[in-house]
Amino acid sequence: MLRYMLMGCAALLPAFPASAQKPAKVAPQAIKLPPTNPLWQPHKTKNYLPEMTWAEVADLLKRTDMVIIPVGSTEQHGPQGPLGTDYLNGLERAKLVAQYTDVLVAPITNVGNAGYHLDFPGSLSVSEETLQHFYVEVVQSLIKQGFKRFMFLNSHGGNAATTAFIVDRINQETPGIAVDLATAAAPFMAREPKTPGKTAPFDRHAGVGETSNSLYLIPSLVDLDRARKAKLTMPDHLTKMVPMIEAGDPTANLVFLVEALKAEGTGKGTTTKNMTDTGSWSSLDPRTATAEQGHDETEKFVNAAVQFIEKWKELRPLGTK
C-alpha cells in the first residue's frame, strides 16, 4: 500500500526544470557539400606553376628559361586591407605579365620579414637569413630542371635588402642569372615630368596608393567601409622630415626610412604600432582609394615588365650558353 501511495505523490510533484536536467547528446548534423567545390576558382591561369602539370612545365621550357618569383609578406594593411596584400598584389601582377610573354610564375612563400608589424594580430615574420636560404634553394631546384633566368618581384619594402642579396647569391653562386624586376623594368616606365614646387603627399604602407592597387588586383578582399584616416604618432624628428620628403628631398627620405618602421628590439621606437593607430602609414584617407588608380599603376608596370623581358630575350636568346 505504501508503495502505491508514494507513486501517487510522485505523480503530483512538478517536473524538474529543463536547466537541471542532463542534456541529451545530440549527434552533429552531417555536413553536405555541393557537387562541385564552391570555393574553387573557375579558371586556370597561363604559366602559373601551382596550377600546371609537370608536362606543361616541360613544354614551357621549350619556349622560355625565364621565371618570375614574387616576394611578398603576410602583415597588417590597415583595417581595410587583407593581411596577404603584399603577396597577393605581387602575385597578381606577375600573373598578368605572364599573359603577354612566355615566362613561368613561381610563387615560393607568402611570408616575409615584417617584425615591426607584429603588434597587429595576424602579421607574420621570418628572418632575412631564413628567407634568402629558402629562396636560393628553391631556385636551385628550378635550375636543375632547365630554367636559367630569374626575375624577383618584391612587393614588400621590408624585403628589399634580402631580395637584393638573393639576386646576388644566385648570380655569384649558381649557373642562374637573376635580376630585381622592379629595377629592370624602371627604364621602361612612363614617368610624368616633375613640376617645380609640386609636393607629393606622404602615402606609404596601406595608404591610398596601395589600397588602390588592391581595389584593382584583389577587389573582393578590400573593405573600404572599415577604412579610416590614421592618426600618425611618429617621433618628432621624423615628423619634421615629412614636409621635406613630400617636397622630394632624397636625403630626408633616406634618413627617414633607415630609422622608421623597425622592430621593437632595435629600441628605435618606430614599430608600426608606435607610428600609426590603424596600421596605415599615410597622411591621406584610404577611403579615397580607387580601382582606377590601381589599374593605371598596374598597367604601367605590366607594360614596362613585358618590354624588359622581350628586350632580355633579344639580348640573350633561349639556348644561349
pLDDT of residue 199: 86
pLDDT of residue 17: 55
pLDDT of residue 192: 74
pLDDT of residue 20: 57
What the block records as the C-alpha cell of 156 is: 614588400
pLDDT of residue 247: 94
Whole-Å CA distances, 235 to 110, 111, 222, 261, 284: 31, 28, 30, 11, 19
Rounded to two decimals, the pTM is 0.89
Task: Tell me the pLDDT of the chain (321 aa) as tens digits.
Answer: 444 444 554 444 555 555 556 667 777 899 999 999 989 988 899 999 999 999 999 999 999 999 999 999 999 999 999 999 999 999 999 999 999 999 999 999 999 999 999 999 999 999 999 999 999 999 999 999 999 999 999 999 999 999 999 999 999 999 999 999 999 999 999 777 777 777 899 999 999 999 999 999 999 999 999 999 999 999 999 999 999 999 999 999 999 999 999 999 999 999 999 999 999 999 999 999 999 999 999 999 999 999 999 999 999 999 998
Burial class (CB in 10 A: 0-12, 13-18, 19+), 152: buried
SS (H, E, C) the chain: CHHHHHHHHHHHCCCCCHHHCCCCCCCCCCCCCCCCCCCCCCCCCCCEHHHCCHHHHHHHCCCCCEEEEEECCCCCECCCECCCHHHHHHHHHHHHHHCCCCCEECCCCCCCCCHHHCCCCCCCCCCHHHHHHHHHHHHHHHHHCCCCEEEEEECCHHHHHHHHHHHHHHHHHCCCEEEEHHHHHHHHCCCCCCCCCCCCCCECCCCHHHHHHHHHHCHHHCCHHHCCCCCECCCHHHHCCHHHHHCCCHHHHHHHHHHCCCCHHHCCCCCHHHHECCCCCECCCHHHCCHHHHHHHHHHHHHHHHHHHHHHHHHCCCCCC
pLDDT of residue 41: 83
CB 152 within 8 A of CB 178: yes
CB 135 within 8 A of CB 108: yes
